[in-house]
Amino acid sequence: MLRALIIALALCLPVSVAHAQSTGQSPTEDLQTVLQRHADEVANPGRRSVGDLIADLVGSGQPNVATFLERWQDKGVYQRSTDGLFFYAKRQGDEYALTNMTTGEPAGSVPTDIMTEIRPNGGVRRVIGAALVQFQLSDPDRARRVAALDAISRSPDADQIEPLRDSIEGEGDPVLRLRKERLAGHLRARFGKSTDDRIGAINELSSALDVETRSVLNLILTTTSEVAASVPEGTNVARILGVGTDISEAEAYARLVSANLAPAPIPRDAIKAALTANITDGRVGGIPVGQLGSEASRTAAYDALAAAGTVPPSVTAEIRRAALASNIFYDAYTEKDAAVTDAARAALDEVEARVARYQIIDISMDALSLASIYFLAAIGLAITFGVMGVINMAHGEFIMMGAYTGYVVQLFIPDYTISLLVALPLAFAVTFGAGVAMERLVIRHLYHRPLETLLATFGISIALQQLAKNIFGTQARPLTSPGWLDGAWVINDVVQIANIRIAIFVLALIFLGLILFVLKRTRLGLEVRSVTQNPGMAASMGINPDRINMLTFGLGSGIAGIAGVAIGLYAKVTSEMGSDYIVQSFMTVVVGGVGNVWGTLAGASLIGGLQKGIEFFNPSNTLAAQTYMILFIILFIQFRPKGIVALKGRAAGD
């Protein structure tokens, strides 16, 4: 009743204040006058009696009541002993600087010994806080409205329903309006005036997906574990538990003991102590002490003592079975209205089913995003490996070089959009040149010698990592994405994806189209495909395989540089970043099919989907997900060694 009175008067405050302002009149009593009428209650408030004071304050129509309640709750109100007036005060040395509570103007300074701080206890502060929430729901300051909603979420109550619903109509912020509507639905579902009102609110919640709504439905469906000889009348039973199926016999009997429905088993230590205490002439219960070495003999001795009434009887298997058979074990809803719990169960089942469907969509989008990253990282390696048969362990370092190129560009061009447009072609040029240099200086001398090529490129990767450390240091460097890539595309509370990942996916599609165009529609692509399928025949037709190998290696390296810029926009840019993608790149190429663009796309999709699928079942251990993924790929290669899309020609012959 106290809270209802406070809330009803709080709702009247905005109306009374607005009326006074529109008529040019001021309220008949100022704040100080009201406080003086309740001076004793202000100075020494009590949780049960403070309601009359707050109701009087709200009914006064003063616009500064909310400020007073806040200061009072925070122990910021003082009383002057000389005249009993109340002030806001701030200590300054040996004096208090006073503030008039009605006008907010300075009211001079007084010695500290004539001021007494008002200190409401915890119960009073909670009552004040409940009254304040009603003011804050319609406060012009958005932060105060958010704080009020947070307070209601933490401590929901039936008295908050009407003030919350009344504040929705005047809410101009669409985000807060949606939150108020949702929170009002939560309160109605839990504290509605009638069963129909609660069921209607619950049915409306069935279309939501947020965690808070699911939490509210779960609160309505909270159960307690009970046991009784028969289910009490009026109990809202959630389910009957089967002993041995839903609940173990040991746990069931322990519940009986806790409910004083069965005798507690006698502990072994108690049996031993009882036998020791009842030794008479070398015997216990008629059994010689020397024969008590077995469990059966000790049990027989104890039962003999129990039959004589010396000790409490032990719990036999027959007693346990009889006690379990004569009682019912069940879970009961704390909510007594079965219609409400039935509606909540149906709503929660529907919500969870929809959440599960959207989780599949969310995982699929994450897998697609990861596949696009793996595709960008591996497509260059697929081209060089497929055409030249070179195992380039330094491919990851070309990704790292591209990322650092983007970082350096941002040092000179602070506009992140322009710097990104400059960094992409520049990263291609830098890594293309590095790839050509590497092919001319090292790779060309090691053709058809895979082991030496692997060792040489591995050594180059280590050298490039150390060079990057010497130039840029060991700390991660920022590669900042443009502002229009910030945030995420939020479909609902379950499905969302970062804008930067969408951009990487689009970039992967663009590169897929460009590479297919180059390979299918240009002379360079024709020559590359010719050398890939049959280098001897290509050479006899006037194509220089050595030149094609050089350009192909440079092209693959350049694409890796562009991938580095894209990956660096959301991942850390360090000298070791290439090592994080070299293994996945090789797996993508091998699984998809060496030297085939469509195969690389298929391999990236398979690995990305597989990794996200495994992480879904074991989200706390990504290392385990990668381990299972590698094991799967090893088994996959055993059955399809040429990959998903096998390449014809030279690769087929190899």
505 burial type by CB count under 10 A (0-12 exposed, 13-18 middle, 19+ buried): buried
Q: What is the DSSP-derived secondary structure letter of residue 99?
A: E
Q: pLDDT over 70 for what percent of the chain?
A: 90
Q: Measure the CA–CA gap between 636 and 244, rounded to whole angstroms.
A: 43
Q: Which residue has the tokens 């969310």?
A: 362
Q: Residue 303: how many CB atoms within 10 A of its CB? A: 15
Position 57 pLDDT exceeds 60: yes
Fold of 356-653: ABC transporter involved in vitamin B12 uptake, BtuC (1.10.3470)
Task: Please give the average per-residue pLDDT across 631-645, as a whole number.
Answer: 79
Task: Please give the average per-residue pLDDT across 151-180, as a whole number.
Answer: 80
CA atoms within 13 A on the CB side of 73: 17
Position 237 pLDDT exceeds 60: yes
Task: Please give the average per-residue pLDDT across 142-149, as a whole number.
Answer: 81
Grouping H, G, I as helix, E, B as strand and the rest as coil, residue 115 is strand
Domain ranges for the chain: 2-136, 160-222, 224-333, 356-653
Predicted local distance difference test score (pLDDT) of residue 10: 44
Q: Measure the CA–CA gap between 57 and 54, rounded to whole angstroms.
A: 5
* Counts for the chain of helices (H) and strands (E), in that order: 27, 12
Written as six digits, the tokens of 362 are 């969310």
- On whether the CB atoms of residues 339 and 581 are closer than 8 A, the answer is no
Q: Residues 633, 636, 638, 643: what is their CA dihedral angle, to the nearest 10 degrees?
A: -100
Find all residues with CB under 8 Å of 332, minimum gap 6, and list them.
223, 224, 226, 235, 236, 237, 238
CA atoms within 13 A on the CB side of 257: 13
Written as six digits, the tokens of 547 are 């030149």
Find all residues with CB under 8 Å of 615, minimum gap 6, and list them.
622, 625
Angle made by CA atoms 286, 290, 291, in degrees to the nearest 5: 65
- On whether the CB atoms of residues 61 and 16 are closer than 8 A, the answer is yes
Q: Which residue has the tokens 């930067």?
A: 500
Task: Please give the average per-residue pLDDT across 589-605, as a whole number.
Answer: 80
Task: Please give the average per-residue pLDDT across 529-543, as a whole number.
Answer: 77
Convert the pLDDT of each residue in 397-435 to its tens digit.
999 999 999 999 999 998 888 998 999 999 999 999 999
Q: What is the DSSP-derived secondary structure letter of residue 280?
A: B
Predicted local distance difference test score (pLDDT) of residue 125: 76
Find all residues with CB under 8 Å of 487, minimum gap 6, and list them.
498, 499
Of 74-88, 333-347, 488-502, 535-549, where does the model show the most confidence? Answer: 333-347
Written as six digits, the tokens of 234 are 């009026």
Q: Residue 123: how many CB atoms within 10 A of its CB? A: 13
Nearest C-alpha neighbor of 398 from the set 546, 581, 549, 590: 581
- On whether the CB atoms of residues 348 and 221 are closer than 8 A, the answer is yes
What is the sign, positive or negative, of the torsion defined by CA atoms of 576, 580, 581, 582?
positive
Task: Please give the average per-residue pLDDT across 266-284, as a whole number.
Answer: 80
Nearest C-alpha neighbor of 556 from the set 424, 365, 399: 399
Task: Please give the average per-residue pLDDT across 16-44, as a whole number.
Answer: 61
pTM of the model: 0.67
Q: Measure the CA–CA gap between 232 and 255, rounded to whole angstroms.
A: 17
The mean pLDDT value of the chain amounts to: 80
Cα→Cα distances 21→24, 55, 62, 103, 319, Å: 5, 21, 11, 16, 80
Convert the pLDDT of each residue in 178-190 to its tens digit.
888 888 888 888 8
Written as six digits, the tokens of 240 are 């009957």
Predicted local distance difference test score (pLDDT) of residue 495: 83
- On whether the CB atoms of residues 608 and 367 are closer than 8 A, the answer is yes
- On whether the CB atoms of residues 133 and 162 are closer than 8 A, the answer is no
Q: Measure the CA–CA gap between 422 and 403, rounded to whole angstroms.
A: 13
Kindly write down the DSSP assignment for every residue of 216-247, as one continuous string.
Answer: HHHHHT-EEEEEESSPPTT--EEEEEPBTTTB
